[in-house]
Chains A and B, each alone.
Chain A
């Protein structure tokens, strides 16, 4: 069973032309996949489909063997919060929550994800993660007081907590210089090594592809004509 399987999928916003058309795409479990997605390649749409935030007009998107188009909106929300860890382009931490509360957010959202933690209490789990990511001294701080590097690591901790099966990272390094980019990717790969999580790392920067098991170009995969 593949971690991700996309078959004959097409998508258009409203009645506009198709912006995404993919014949076949797949990632096996534990695979670390680099997806090259320059702007205008339908990247945001693609990730929206994978997370169930968007629904394809035709075709099939399966995550961990589950066809997510078949789920109700509520089930999609539940499925996403249980199985997917998401790292945003700008980290997108909730500004008014402390570091530890930001890390705990996915656990709050989903009971099943809460069950997968190793420690007895969620707070202990979050602290353990923060410890491993070098965030322990600022755990009570407001996220806005952190440096960009620290915010990044909080975003990683938030994606990793509760061991989601699939981690999607959307341009997480675009705001960083080259040294920092490598550092970040190493950190991400290292922390997911033991967990056998599947990683989809999306970036326009092709040079980063070297760090991953396999590399795919979204631009080549997407045959839709509706793009600019």
Chain B
């Protein structure tokens, strides 16, 4: 019966009810949305690379190594020799390796020289392999495979001839490799990892475009080696920048890391991607914290909106409250009525908000992935979400006790004189 009263009373004030409902559900949706995005960012960050046990490069900081090898950010200070790489490639404990040779770019996108092992062995987001949208892997010296983002932004098609720039630059390069253009032979499927934003050539290609360079500068005019004069077999790979490594048994990873660090040939280091990533994530966690603060405030605003709506509606309900009092409705029931209404509104607001987030996400998931390169998984509500939502519900019920008690007091002082 009190339910019926609450229901009709809410229905009577349907506009206020709807607006309150909207503000609560938007708050919840925003909160959950931010949580999902936060989670998605973290996921896409940490799932950019998987199944790799060690990343090996010249000795330096572990974060720079992680950044330039996986995220194509920053530069390596030093290369490692191909012979050192070969030593570990052929090591008994190693299952596979993926060599990277870095340093060039194309219109702001990094160029990664690698070999067929990359297409076979690279894994991201658990067990996802690199897939082609069109074409195939780079086989010839002057073949290039482009990431999905590169293809979309620069509108490249298969067969297009492109010129790589020497060094990493955003716009026009100081030096470029105009004499040795590359042909697009493959376009990768979008996978929302840094791979989307890179171009892939063969190690031989990287070697070839720099073969006639001397002391870090381009060859003198007229002394360029002709592109046609190269054959894949004739090129000796001298050095690479970094390589990814997978051990046959993961137990060996730590031992191998030690071994690489102690390698006599040249100063090298190896990092465990997961460990380095956790370190990096902790370093930028204040960004995550600020998102958390924002979502907490969003919720707070929702609750405040609820309180405002309740308090404003109180005045228009004075008469009604006084009638109910004279009819013999006790203090506890009157307060219970107001709290019950809040509970109703809040609960349906939460339900609506959850629906909004999941409905919205399932509709826009692929759109978000293709435009922002951010894959937001449709994950079930987490424990922390439940805790937050319960706190929200409890807070609004507690907060609604203020207008409820106020309603009771007004009805007391109003007594029989319904001057309203």
Q: Which residues of A contact B (CB under 8 A)?
A: 44, 47-48, 51, 53-54, 73-74, 77-82, 84, 86, 88-90, 92-97, 101, 105-106, 108-110, 170
Q: Is the CB of A77 within 8 A of B8?
A: no
A97 contact set on B, CB distance < 8 A: 5, 8
Q: Is the CB of B415 within 8 A of A80?
A: no
Q: Is the CB of B327 within 8 A of A53?
A: no
Residue from B329, B415, B417 in contact with A81 in the complex, judged by beta carbons closer than 8 Å = B329
> What's the nearest-Cβ distance from chain A to residue B8, in Å?
5
Residue from B8, B12, B327, B417 in contact with A86 in the complex, judged by beta carbons closer than 8 Å = B327
Secondary structure type dominating chain B contacts: helix
A110 to B329, CA, bound (A): 8
Q: What is the chain A residue whose CB lies nearest that of B12? A: A96
Q: Is the CB of A101 within 8 A of B329?
A: no
> What's the nearest-Cβ distance from chain A to residue B409, in Å?
12
Residue from B5, B328, B415 in contact with A77 in the complex, judged by beta carbons closer than 8 Å = B328
Question: Could you list 14 examples of A-B contacts with CB < 8 Å?
Answer: A44-B415, A44-B417, A47-B416, A51-B326, A51-B416, A53-B326, A73-B330, A79-B328, A80-B328, A81-B327, A93-B323, A105-B324, A105-B327, A110-B328
Q: What is the chain B residue whose CB lies nearest that of A88? A: B418
B412 contact set on A, CB distance < 8 A: 53
Q: What is the chain B residue whose CB lies nearest that of A158? A: B327
The total number of A-B Cβ pairs within 8 Å is: 73
Q: Which of B322, B326, B330 has the most CB of A within 10 A?
A: B326
Given contacts A44-B416, A53-B326, A108-B2, 12 further A-B contacts (CB under 8 A): A44-B417, A47-B416, A53-B325, A53-B415, A73-B331, A74-B330, A77-B328, A78-B328, A81-B327, A88-B326, A97-B5, A106-B328
**Does B369 count as interface, using CB distance less than 8 angstroms?**
no
> Given A81-B327, A86-B327, do A101 and B8 touch, yes or no (CB 8 Å)?
yes
Residue from A80, A82, A95, A101 in contact with B326 in the complex, judged by beta carbons closer than 8 Å = A80
B197-239 interface bits toward A, Cβ cutoff 8 Å, 1 = contact, 0 = none: 0000000000000000000000000000000000000000000
Q: Is the CB of A96 within 8 A of B11?
A: yes
A44 to B415, CA, bound (A): 9
Q: What is the chain B residue whose CB lies nearest that of A96? A: B12
A154 to B170, CA, bound (A): 81
**Does B266 count as interface, using CB distance less than 8 angstroms?**
no
**Residues 343 to 376 of chain B near chain A (Cβ within 8 Å):** none
**Does B332 count as interface, using CB distance less than 8 angstroms?**
yes
**Does B1 count as interface, using CB distance less than 8 angstroms?**
yes
Residue from B11, B319, B322, B329 in contact with A109 in the complex, judged by beta carbons closer than 8 Å = B329
**Does B259 count as interface, using CB distance less than 8 angstroms?**
no
Q: What is the chain B residue whose CB lies nearest that of A92? A: B323
Q: What is the chain A residue whose CB lies nearest that of B332? A: A74
Interface residue tally on B, bucketed by range: 20 to 34
A90 contact set on B, CB distance < 8 A: 418
> What's the nearest-Cβ distance from chain B to residue A171, in Å?
11
Q: Which of A54, A82, A92, A101 has the most CB of B within 10 A?
A: A92
> Given A94-B320, A101-B8, do A48 and B331 touch, yes or no (CB 8 Å)?
no
Residue from A77, A81, A82, A106 in contact with B331 in the complex, judged by beta carbons closer than 8 Å = A77
> What's the nearest-Cβ distance from chain B to residue A63, in Å?
13
Q: What is the chain B residue whose CB lies nearest that of A83? A: B328
A96 to B13, CA, bound (A): 9
B319 contact set on A, CB distance < 8 A: 92
**Residues 362 to 420 of chain B near chain A (Cβ within 8 Å):** 412, 415-418
B323 contact set on A, CB distance < 8 A: 88, 92-94
A80 to B324, CA, bound (A): 11
A95 to B329, CA, bound (A): 17
A162 to B141, CA, bound (A): 98
**Does B4 count as interface, using CB distance less than 8 angstroms?**
yes
Residue from A81, A89, A108, A110 in contact with B418 in the complex, judged by beta carbons closer than 8 Å = A89
B298-320 interface bits toward A, Cβ cutoff 8 Å, 1 = contact, 0 = none: 00000000000000000000011
A136 to B12, CA, bound (A): 24
A101 to B324, CA, bound (A): 13
**Does B84 count as interface, using CB distance less than 8 angstroms?**
no
Residue from A77, A95, A110 in contact with B12 in the complex, judged by beta carbons closer than 8 Å = A95
> Given A101-B4, A108-B1, do A92 and B418 touch, yes or no (CB 8 Å)?
yes
B330 contact set on A, CB distance < 8 A: 73-74, 77-78
Q: What is the chain A residue whose CB lies nearest that of B320? A: A94
Q: Is the CB of B417 within 8 A of A82?
A: no
A7 to B82, CA, bound (A): 111
> What's the nearest-Cβ distance from chain A to residue B57, in Å?
73
> What's the nearest-Cβ distance from chain A to residue B310, in Å?
17
> What's the nearest-Cβ distance from chain A to residue B414, in Å?
9
A78 to B332, CA, bound (A): 12
Q: Is the CB of B328 within 8 A of A109?
A: yes
Q: Is the CB of B328 within 8 A of A82?
A: yes
Q: Is the CB of A77 within 8 A of B329?
A: yes
Q: Is the CB of B8 within 8 A of A109?
A: no
Q: What is the chain A residue whose CB lies nearest that of B14? A: A96
A60 to B418, CA, bound (A): 26
> What's the nearest-Cβ distance from chain B to residue A202, in Å?
11
B8 contact set on A, CB distance < 8 A: 96-97, 101
A106 to B8, CA, bound (A): 17
> What's the nearest-Cβ distance from chain A to residue B322, in Å?
8
> What's the nearest-Cβ distance from chain A to residue B244, in Å?
69
